[in-house]
Amino acid sequence: MKKGSLIIVKAEKMINQGLCLGRIEGKIVLIDGCLPGEIVSAKIQKIKKDYIEAKTIEIIEKSTSRINPVCKYFGFCGGCKLQNLNYSEQLKIKKSFVEEAFERTSKIFDINVNNVIGSDDEFFYRNKMEFSFAKRWMFEGISYSVKEKEFALGLHIPKQYEKVIHIDECFLQSNFSNEVRNFVGDFLFQRNASIHSLKNRSGLLKALLIRESKNTSEKLVGLITTRFEENLIVELGNKLNETFPEITTFVNIISNSNISSTIPDKILTIFGKGYIIEKLFDYQFEIYANTFFQTNTKQAEKLFSILLNYLKEKNFSNDFSKGKILVDLYSGVGVIGILLSNYFDKVIAFEDIDESVTAAKRNAEINKVHNISFLQRNLNDGFEISEELANYDLTIIADPPRSGMHEKTIKSILKLRPSTFIYISCNPVTQARDLAYLKEFYRIELVQPIDMFPQTYHIENIAILKISS
């Protein structure tokens, strides 16, 4: 076997990143572009010491779960890799991702992973999307002008970060989002606005952000640029206000031209209040352009209901709250701490991003929650609470980024030894890795996956641990 050779292989199961695992001549093959159970002809892309990477060329025997994807960009854009798999099978595969992560990564074999809680909406479920400006990915058989080649607004091709597909439809966010993206793209294209180039540290446009509240009618549009081009931005704002009166706020996010990311240096409100209001249960939250909020609002409500029901069943009620402390790690705009605040005497929340801490304090005020405090801290440096509070009945809840928790954060948790530890994660692999440090002292009471991301290989997972007696 050598690079470029064709092999016939059966896909045994799907693994992380939406790849399938097969075997040939005793060697593992990671296959792109197929589904579990299928027999395919695949072209070898890379030969590593322990495995082979291959791409499907022809499906010889199809899975009975294979369906026709609805999006014309499927197979090019990396956003919806499971769109050709029926939804019930998606949920089964995502459950297997969680099981394998806990069995292989953290070596916990005696846990019961609940069935995945599916999404009521299989499409158009996201409340936030960010579309990139870059050079255009060019499809074969289509002629492009010189101007078109240099301009695109859409989603990245996997592993092709310098180019994006210039899309005119996406099934992850609403039709409103599609209309706004297409309008903004056409407007900026006609005005010859330049695309940011990290290589040359030049160009204006980085990305377009669209946020929608699902339980109110508020909508935010943010244009991410390297500088404030007043005439262009104001004209765009006027056109958006005129064409889409449902947009409640438009902001210009200024991001450094020396970095590829869209991290903001400052945010200018062009019209509206600069944020949107989202409602969850009896609470409302201010959501800003750059603050974290669960991207699937309806599924987030299911997730938070699990937490609330757990606390209620375990008698974490107002009558039992005296002396109970909640430590909320990676607290964002304060959603979890505020929602759970009635079950605790005091909530201490830690968050790194200054704008999120400010928004969280404001959200606590809006909802008249007075037993919560928000502290700005980079949790990669660990955290601590006062010795007096450390002697209370502690519950710690963590909702870290995909990379998981830093070792210093885990050491801080172990030092406090909370009676209950709740870990919410969008990456079961890093979640299982982190929990391996705790398994000597804790038992797992609940593992509940929730599908926040239909049509993708991502899965949200809740793990609830109790300290061993």
Any bridge partners for residue 394, and if so which? Answer: 325
Q: How confident is the model at residue 157 (pLDDT cuts 50, 70, 90)?
A: confident
Q: How far apart are CA 23 and CA 244, in angstroms?
A: 53
Q: In one letter, which amino acid is 42?
A: A
The residue with greater pLDDT, 280 or 315, is 280
- Whether residue 223 contacts residue 264, with contact meaning beta carbons closer than 8 Å, is answered with no
Q: How far apart are CA 374 and CA 123, in angstroms?
A: 35
Q: What string of DSSP letters covers 380-402?
A: GG-----HHHHTSEEEEEE---T
Q: How confident is the model at residue 331 (pLDDT cuts 50, 70, 90)?
A: very high
50's CB contacts (< 8 A; 6+ apart) are 27, 28
Q: Percentage of residues in the chain with pLDDT exceeding 70? A: 98
Paired tokens of 199: 């290589």
- Whether residue 415 contacts residue 361, with contact meaning beta carbons closer than 8 Å, is answered with no
pLDDT for the residue numbered 31: 96
Domain boundaries of the chain, sorted by first residue: 6-66, 99-120+296-467, 128-280
pLDDT for the residue numbered 159: 74
pLDDT for the residue numbered 161: 74
Q: How far apart are CA 347 and CA 344, in angstroms?
A: 7
Q: What string of DSSP letters covers 174-189?
A: -HHHHHHHHHHHHHHH
Q: Per-residue pLDDT for 260 more than 70?
A: yes
Identity of the highest mean pLDDT range in 101-110, 321-330, 343-352: 343-352
Q: In one letter, which amino acid is 106?
A: S
* CATH level 2 (architecture), domain 6-66: Beta Barrel (2.40)
Least confident of 98-107, 136-145, 421-430: 98-107
Q: What is the mean pLDDT of residues 86-93?
A: 97
Q: Which tens digit of pLDDT belongs to each residue from 283-329? A: 999 999 999 899 999 999 999 999 999 999 886 655 545 589 999 99
Residue 298 phi, psi (nearest 5): -65, -40
- Identify the active-site residue in 20, 34, 77, 426: 426
pLDDT for the residue numbered 318: 52
Instruction: Say whether 128-280 and 6-66 share the same fold.
Output: yes
Active site residue 71: no
What's the alpha-carbon Rg for the chain, to the nearest Å? 24
Q: What is the mean pLDDT of residues 5-14?
A: 96
CATH of domain 128-280: 2.40.50.1070
Please tell me the CATH superfamily of domain 99-120+296-467, with its number. Answer: Vaccinia Virus protein VP39 (3.40.50.150)
Any bridge partners for residue 287, and if so which? Answer: 276
Q: Which tens digit of pLDDT belongs to each residue from 355-391? A: 899 999 999 999 999 999 999 999 999 999 999 998 8
Q: Which tens digit of pLDDT belongs to each residue from 351-362? A: 999 989 999 999
350 burial via Cβ count (<10 Å: 0-12, 13-18, 19+): buried
Q: Per-residue pLDDT for 54 more than 90?
A: yes
Quick one: the chain helix, strand, coil %, rounded to 5? 25, 35, 40
pTM of this prediction exceeds 0.85: yes
